[in-house]
Each structure stands twice: as structure tokens, then as C-alpha cells.
Amino acid sequence: MERTEPGRRERKKAATRQALSRAARELFLDRGFDNVTVAEIADAADTAVSTLFAHFPGGKEALILGHGHERETALAAAVRDRAEGASILQALRDFLATRGPFDPDPDPQARRVADLVVATPALRAYARTLWTGCEDTLTKVIAEESGQDDFSVRLLARYVLEVPDLAGVEADPAAALDAAFVFLRRGWPEFC
């Protein structure tokens, strides 16, 4: 199948989304999330407020954290494409270890964004919503990969998706992530 390049309109939309995200990130990191309005972001990106909401209906939070679709896709891929012999729980732990406050070697701007999210209640709540919004997809992929399809699979998915919010605010997020997965392995040894 031949891969086609995106058309002019799609490229323009992508450029607008990037300009809005970049402007929001810079303003938020400079002045704090709560001290920036959507009008200021739209102005910095040279767009209208209506354009901002057309691209980011989730508002200010979505400008820095996205819509969640890419997170959902990446989470499912982490389970489906795990290394041979790797357990589902290990694949999920390894995936989370590369995200936000768990990333052991983030670039400086990514670290600042992660710190902003953890320190800002509205961003932290939105991030949690993005994670828990992946529950159906994660439940489905775990069921497909394990051959199990019962309540315990949904329960496992729910607990895994709560880990970023809970462990991400600990003094040592990476250690808290590892501790969380110790408990998950005890509760679901069949996924180890």
C-alpha cells in the first residue's frame, strides 16, 4: 500500500495545533498554568480563540497534555508489542517508567512540564482523566493478550491506570512506580 503525504489542509491544521501547543507550553512554564488565559495563548499563536477550541476542545489542559488518543494507542501497543517473554505487567511498568515524572532521563523542558502537571491541580486532574479514559482499551488488550476476560482484567486495568496519579506525586516517583507494581504482581500473579 502506498503511503500518501498529508494534504495542504492537514499540514496547516497540524501546524496550527503545534503553534498553539508551543505557545501554551511557553506561557505556562513562564507564568504558571493558572495565570494564562486562552485568549493570551491564541494571541501568542496568532490564531482566534475559536480556532484554539476547534483544535483543543478540552481547553487549556489539553494544550499541554493532549487529547489522550496517542496515550491510549501507545498504552495498547506497549502490551501488544512487548518483548517476547515479557509479562503484561512488566510491559506496563516499563511503559509508565518512560512517562512524565517517572522518566529517568527527560530533557529539561519535559521535566519542567512534568513538574508543572504535578504541581497544578487542574492539570493533575486532567492527566488522571486521560489515564483512566484508557480503561476500556487497556482492559480489551489485556483480555486479548492473556486469554482472560473477566472482572479481574478490568480491575487490573483500572489499578494500573491509577498508578501515574498516585505514584507521580511521591518524593521519588520512580521508586513509587516500582512499589505499585510489586503490589500489582501480588494481586495478579497470572499476569507476571
Q: Which residue in the block uniquely carries the three cell numbers 512506580?
A: 177
Q: In whole angstroms, what is the distance from residue 16 CA to residue 90 CA?
A: 37
Task: Please list the alpha-helical segments (H only) found in 32-150.
Answer: 38-44, 49-55, 60-65, 69-80, 88-96, 108-119, 121-132, 135-146
Q: In whole angstroms, what is the distance from residue 139 CA to residue 44 CA?
A: 40
What pTM was computed for the model? 0.88
Give pLDDT, residue 6. 75
Listed as own residue / partner, the contacts of 83-92 with beta carbons closer than 8 Å and 24 or more positions apart are: 87/191, 87/192, 88/142, 88/145, 88/146, 88/191, 89/160, 89/181, 89/184, 89/185, 89/188, 89/191, 89/192, 90/192, 92/160, 92/181
Q: In whole angstroms, what is the distance from residue 183 CA to residue 19 CA?
A: 42
Give pLDDT, residue 67. 81
Written as tens digits, the pLDDT of the chain (192 aa) is 555 677 888 899 889 999 999 999 999 999 999 999 999 999 999 999 999 999 999 899 999 998 888 899 999 999 999 999 999 999 999 999 999 999 999 899 999 999 999 999 999 999 999 999 999 999 999 999 999 989 999 999 999 999 999 999 999 999 999 999 999 999 999 998
Give pLDDT, residue 3. 57
Q: What are the residues whose beta carbons fall under 8 Å from the beta carbon of 61, sequence distance 6 or more?
A: 122, 123, 126
Give pLDDT, residue 2. 57
Give pLDDT, residue 5. 72
Give pLDDT, residue 1. 53
